[in-house]
Amino acid sequence: MPRKKFVAGNWKMNTTLAEAKALGSAIAQGVGSSSKVDVAVCPPFPWLVSVSEVLKGSSVALGAQDVHNEAKGAFTGEVSTGMLKEAGCKYVIVGHSERRHILGESDLTVHLKLHAAVEAGMHVILCVGETLVERERNLAERVFQRQVYSALAGITDEQWPLIVIAYEPVWAIGTGRTATPEQAQLAHLFIRSKLQSMHGEKIANALPILYGGSVTPETAGGLFSQPDVDGGLVGGASLKADQFLAIVKAAGA
Ligand code: PGA
């Protein structure tokens, strides 16, 4: 079965409440109640409940940008899977490079968060990707192979359908320097072939691998036409409804 394309918007630390509601409404209206493409938006934590309201009746799913691995307790500032689910989230992004590199998240932390999320039945968008220095030193494949392996170690057969990988080269995020479709395809194929040798063809072929890093309406078509690019995780261009909807359209909606 061909993999369904998936486009997710990562709003990061942007939008006021009014902007978030307007953006969510415009995307919900543009996508409608059914779509050939899976679509999700990931607003900041304080806006999740309000955005969930405006998405009602549409096929746009809600996601969070991060989660803590513990279920509750003395973890000041953190948010649990239970809270996210109650706020209406189906998805959660785990291991975004901004969390790994700016906030110092380790592979172990990413592993624990990912496992907590799938154990709670949430869908996870696991971000992996190399920095510019790592690419220049020919370490790129080693880096994202390590990130994929460590995050996904111990995933059970029932949990695999909850996993989405986003390949996001750090040098392409927010820089306007999109990876070429060929660079993205090579990385995605590498990840898929490693998953295949570790977990078998069925799991590797079913798993969506998104590309992220300066995806725009102009670059989306070329990227999404690659056989192993199953959609995009979009930052900057997800903050403008018309641009985000054009990217969803490029994915085949
Ligand atoms: P960008 O961000 O599209 O602004 O490069 C992508 C991401 O960080 O997920």
Q: What CATH number does residue 206 fall under?
A: 3.20.20.70
Does a structural domain hold residue 29? yes
Does a structural domain hold residue 78? yes
What's the domain range around 56? 6-251
Does a structural domain hold residue 1? no
Which residues lie with the beta carbon below 6 Å from any ligand 1 atom?
Answer: 10, 168, 173-174, 212-215, 233-237
pLDDT number for residue 4: 96
> Confidence class of residue 34 from pLDDT cuts 50, 70 and 90?
confident
Q: Using alpha carbons, select from 15, 60, 56 the residue that is nearest to residue 41.
A: 60
pLDDT over 80 at 1, yes or no: no
> Confidence class of residue 253 from pLDDT cuts 50, 70 and 90?
confident
pLDDT over 80 at 220, yes or no: yes
How far, in Å, CA of 45 to CA of 153, rounded? 28
Region 39-59: mean pLDDT is: 98
pLDDT digits (tens, 9 = 90+) for 166-217: 999 999 998 989 899 999 999 999 999 999 999 999 999 999 999 999 999 9
pLDDT digits (tens, 9 = 90+) for 50-67: 999 999 999 999 999 999
CA of 175 to the centre of ligand 1 (A): 9
- Strand ranges for 80-218 from DSSP E: 91-94, 123-128, 163-167, 209-212
Helices 181-199 and 140-152 pack at an angle, to 10 degrees, of: 40
Q: Give residue 223's identity as a one-letter amino acid code.
A: L
pTM of the predicted protein model: 0.97
Does a structural domain hold residue 203? yes
Domain count, the chain: 1
Does a structural domain hold residue 192? yes
Does a structural domain hold residue 176? yes
Quote the distance between the C-alpha of residue 223 and its chain's center: 16
Main-chain phi, psi angles of 169, to 5 degrees: -60, 125
Does a structural domain hold residue 63? yes
- Could you give the count of Cα atoms lying within 13 Å of 92 in the half-sphere of its Cβ? 28
Other beta carbons within 10 Å of 87: 17
CA of 153 to the centre of ligand 1 (A): 26
Does a structural domain hold residue 154? yes
In testing the pocket of ligand 1, which one of 103, 173, 219 has its CB within 8 Å of the most ligand atoms? Answer: 173
Cα dihedral 82, 52, 21, 214 sign: positive
CA of 200 to the centre of ligand 1 (A): 30
